[in-house]
Amino acid sequence: MTEFNTINNETDAPTKPGEFLTAMGGDRPDDWTVSRRFRGFMPVVVDVETGGLNPQTDALLELAAVLLDVDAQGKIVQVDRIQLHVAPFEGANLDPVSMKINGIDIDHPFRNALSEAEALQQFFQPIRQRLKLNGARRAILVGHNAAFDLAVINAAVARCGNKRNPFHPFSTFDTVTLSALAVGETVLAKALEAIGLEWDSAQAHSALYDAEQTAELFCRIMNAFSKPNGRAPLRAPPVKKSPD
């Protein structure tokens, strides 16, 4: 897997704006960016871990994202990642079944959880900077069952009154659908196995691990269904108008 930087809330010093940006720079064709591949939008792979299935009432506990770009051949690649632990908001529900599945100990002394408002701010900042770097209008959330991840983020944004949400309010790229198209599987572990990748069940339900695996799946599928230069395969070339 491509090596890339990690931004998280487990380091001693806070990450400064711009430290984590991996500029693909001069090796990339000037006329081709990830935002051009997606018509002005920028896909960001996201996974959340929560204390239940209700975005309005259940706690947001982990946020993770993998940021994408294109390389010199126009292929989509992973470049940066974000990992944040989040403290349950006041009055949040923690469903025992969900907590058993995700294995999160909210009282762990090394968890270093941020408040929901602070976590959103730190989560959105690098995404917004990469939007600017790529000249993109909005981020599009990529996820496995992406509607849930987006609903959780939107609910947290509403609770905190955050006005800097970079994500499109309802559009997503769902790797469930893409996997069904590409390999005939809808379960993340089975889809990864179908394209030759391993799934570590011991690391599953860590937001960062799930986001990394979903990103690898998304990149593999999108690159397999792209032309050698990264362009969409079925897009017709522009029709040249003959001079009058």
Q: What are 164-179's pLDDT values in tens digits? A: 999 999 999 999 999 9
pLDDT band per the 50, 70, 90 thresholds, residue 137: very high
| Other C-beta atoms lying within 10 Å of the C-beta of residue 133 | 19
- What three-state secondary structure class fits 198? coil
Q: List residues bridging with 6 in a β-sheet.
A: 81
CA angle 228, 213, 143 (to 5 degrees): 85
pLDDT higher at 240 or 60: 60
Q: What is the pTM of this model?
A: 0.87
Q: Which of 67, 65, 82, 78 is nearest to 2 (CA)?
A: 78
Q: What is the CA radius of gyration of the chain?
A: 19
pLDDT value at 182 more than 80? yes
pLDDT higher at 199 or 29: 199
In one letter, which amino acid is 154?
A: N
Take residue 11 and report the two structure tokens written for it: 């380091």
Active site residue 85: no
| DSSP-assigned states of every residue in 162-183 | -S---EEEEEEEEHHHHHHHHH
pLDDT above 90: percentage of residues in the chain: 74
CA pair distance 204, 241, nearest whole angstrom: 53
pLDDT value at 23 more than 60? no
Burial environment of residue 174 by CB neighbours within 10 A (0 to 12, 13 to 18, 19 or more): buried
DSSP 8-state secondary structure symbol assigned to residue 79: E
Q: What are 83-124's pLDDT values in tens digits? A: 999 999 999 999 999 999 999 999 998 899 999 999 999 999
The CATH number of the structural domain formed by 5-224 is 3.30.420.10
pLDDT value at 31 more than 70? no
In the chain, the largest separation of any two C-alpha atoms, in whole Å, equals: 75
| DSSP-assigned states of every residue in 15-67 | PPTTTT----GGGS-TT--HHHHTTTEEEEEEEEEESSS-TTTBPEEEEEEEE
Selected catalytic residue, list 85, 108, 168, 205: 205
Mean residue pLDDT across the chain:
88
Q: How far is CA 94 from the centre of its chain?
A: 24
Q: Where are the domains of the chain?
A: 5-224
DSSP 8-state secondary structure symbol assigned to residue 77: E
Q: List residues bridging with 85 in a β-sheet.
A: 62
Least confident span in 22-26, 66-70, 105-109:
22-26
Take residue 102 and report the two structure tokens written for it: 């995700």
The CB-based long-range contact list for 64-67 (8 Å cut-off, 24+ gap) reads 64/206, 64/207, 64/208, 64/210, 64/211, 65/123, 65/127, 65/211, 66/4, 66/211, 66/212, 66/214, 66/215, 67/126, 67/127, 67/130
pLDDT higher at 98 or 238: 98
